[in-house]
Amino acid sequence: MTRFTEYDCSGGCPVEAALEQIGGKWKGVTLFHLLDGVKRFNELQRDVGGVTQRMLTKQLRELEAAGLIHREVYPVVPPKVEYSLTEKGESLRPILMALKDWGEEHVLATA
């Protein structure tokens, strides 16, 4: 097994850059739930659990600004808003599934 004793991020650290876009308490969980497909705000809030409306709105805006999710607003009353993964967001599927598997094996198994 190779041991890494030094990380060269002189030209910018790709791990830091990735975590900048998907880091945060609710972003990863939100992205994970969007793997199932299009969801409305209330569905996401229910799925994520424990997140306030204000915080989920903030996280969704940041994910949209990063190009990871698409926000579709329908001109109806009451307003209908749906969220889905973009192609860039969908590219996180294997990473999110690997995190899920790791969590099941190393965190939930010891709880």
Domain that holds residue 18: 14-110
At 24 the pLDDT is 87
User: Could you tell me the CATH number of the domain that includes residue 37?
Assistant: 1.10.10.10
Separation between Cα atoms, residue 2 and residue 90, nearest integer Å: 30
97 located within any domain? yes
At 63 the pLDDT is 97
What is the residue-averaged pLDDT of the chain?
Answer: 89
42 C-beta neighbours (distance < 10 Å), count? 11
67 located within any domain? yes
The total number of structural domains that make up the chain: 1
Separation between Cα atoms, residue 78 and residue 75, nearest integer Å: 9
| Residue 1 scores a pLDDT above 80 | no
